[in-house]
Amino acid sequence: MTKTQIMKIIKDENIHFFRLQFVDINGFMKNVAIPRSQITKALDGKMMFDGSSIDGFARIHESDMYLVPDYNTFTILPWRNKEGVAAARIICDIHKSDGSPYQGCPRVNLKRVLAEAKKTGYVMNVGTEAEFFLFNLDDRGLPTTDTNDAAGYFSVDPEDTGINCRREIIETLERMGFEIEASHHEVARGQHEVNFKYADALTCADNTVTFKWVVKTIAKKHGLHATFMPKPIFGINGSGMHTNQSLFDQNGNNAFFDPEGPLQLSPIAYQYIAGITRHAREFAAVTNPLVNSYKRLVPGYEAPVYVAWSGSNRSALIRIPASRGVGTRVEVRCPDPSCNPYLAFAMMLNAGLAGIKDKLVPPPAVNANIFEMSANRMKRAKIQNMPGSLLEAMGELRKSPLAKETLGEHIFEKYLLVKEKEWDDFRTAVTDWERKAYLNIY
């Protein structure tokens, strides 16, 4: 899309308000709203903001930054049309005051990683499956963990009481240009999934943060709270963000597909799998970034706990979906929807590319249910565990040369600082569990 095309849409659709959006180091969407009179200035990348007020961004003495829009992300906001006056948004990269791209911007960093991958001959395509819960609000309008939904996996009306909200989410996304492939109720009560078509990695990261924003916005219209928290309720399934990924060569061919190869996978696919398994523990703190993330990664709830791969086994970290040809892909099952997709995609891509560069051989596929395997059997199969806590994952990230190279020094250091504070807050907090366990005894 061009600036001229955008200005025509603004005029034709009577757009009076414009949101300039970006994400911070945690993946939280931020924005500044501007009136119509400032749109030309914004489209020219001349809107400034204070970067020192954003988590993981600049220090106070170097805080002046520019919002540089990506014209291809322009879209009208369907829910913001009031009496014929519309609003739109555009996603921006962050640039420094000298006009150069800011290394602390997660989107800028992903673009750098993708450009380096392209030099090796590959383009990354990604499709995410971000699960979420819909919960009721209390009398004060605050979220609860209660739902009037008693449905289960693939339930139908009337059990699936969230279907009307989910339908409006889909309609809204389609009006914003998403191609929706499917939607359904998930395993846990109150849990849902909407699948949209894969795209190149940058577009998919943009789509993923937009999707989460739309889900939360439409849920609120229905008097509900949507959460992408990985494990909001003990004893039931948590929410994952299975990330389907593939590499295409410069001629548009899927580099993972080989009709003559084992499982019809190419040597490149096997090397990519080997890279993911080699570096999975190192990127866990990025793909699973919260204290709460590791309460999802426990046995018994379909979430992957073990570093293994399989052609079909859903207890493994990596699964190879049945589709072949252009649809040949690797599904990495550990990420959860609280992650920053710009950082997560960069980490998984470089992990896979490291496997290709070093011509790594993956461990043997594990087709048995790993949850039912004994410790000795797992040891013989050399199956490692994923980190069991954010603290353990941070330790793996901190000592990873791959992570430092992929995230860049600025994001790497700032990210660790943010996560260290989160862990310390958790470590020193007194929880309801502790009060129930100890208050009446000691």
**What is the DSSP secondary-structure string of 282-340?**
HHHHHHS-STTHHHHSSTTSS---EEEEESS-TTEEEE--S--GGG--EEE----TTS-
**pTM for this structure?**
0.94
Q: What CATH architecture is 3-102?
A: Roll (3.10)
Active site residue 242: yes
Active site residue 107: no
Choose, from 80, 314, 324, 398, the residue flagged as catalytic: 314
Q: How large is the average pLDDT for residues 282-310?
A: 93
Choose, from 258, 331, 336, 396, the residue flagged as catalytic: 331
Q: What is the mean pLDDT of the chain?
A: 92
Backbone φ, ψ for residue 160 (5° rounding): -85, 80
Active site residue 186: yes
Would you say 54 and 30 are in contact if contact means Cβ atoms under 8 Å apart? yes
Q: What CATH architecture is 112-432?
A: 2-Layer Sandwich (3.30)
Task: Quick: pLDDT tens for 224-245.
Answer: 999 999 999 999 999 999 999 9
The yes-or-no verdict on residue 359 having pLDDT over 60 is: yes
| Residue 131 binned pLDDT confidence (cut-offs 50, 70, 90) | very high
Active site residue 89: no
**Domain boundary assignment for the chain:** 3-102, 112-432
Task: Quick: pLDDT tens for 260-272.
Answer: 999 999 999 999 9
Instruction: Locate 160 and state its tokens.
Output: 């699936």
Task: Quick: pLDDT tens for 15-55.
Answer: 999 999 999 999 999 999 999 999 999 999 999 888 776 76
Choose, from 89, 93, 95, 129, the residue flagged as catalytic: 129
* Cα(147)–Cα(275) distance, integer angstroms: 41
* Cα(392)–Cα(166) distance, integer angstroms: 36
Task: Quick: pLDDT tens for 140-188.
Answer: 999 999 987 877 776 766 666 678 899 999 999 999 999 999 888 888 8
Amino acid letter, residue 80: R
Active site residue 13: no
Q: How large is the average pLDDT for residues 203-225?
A: 96
| Residue 388 binned pLDDT confidence (cut-offs 50, 70, 90) | very high
Task: Quick: pLDDT tens for 326-338.
Answer: 999 999 999 999 9
Active site residue 420: no
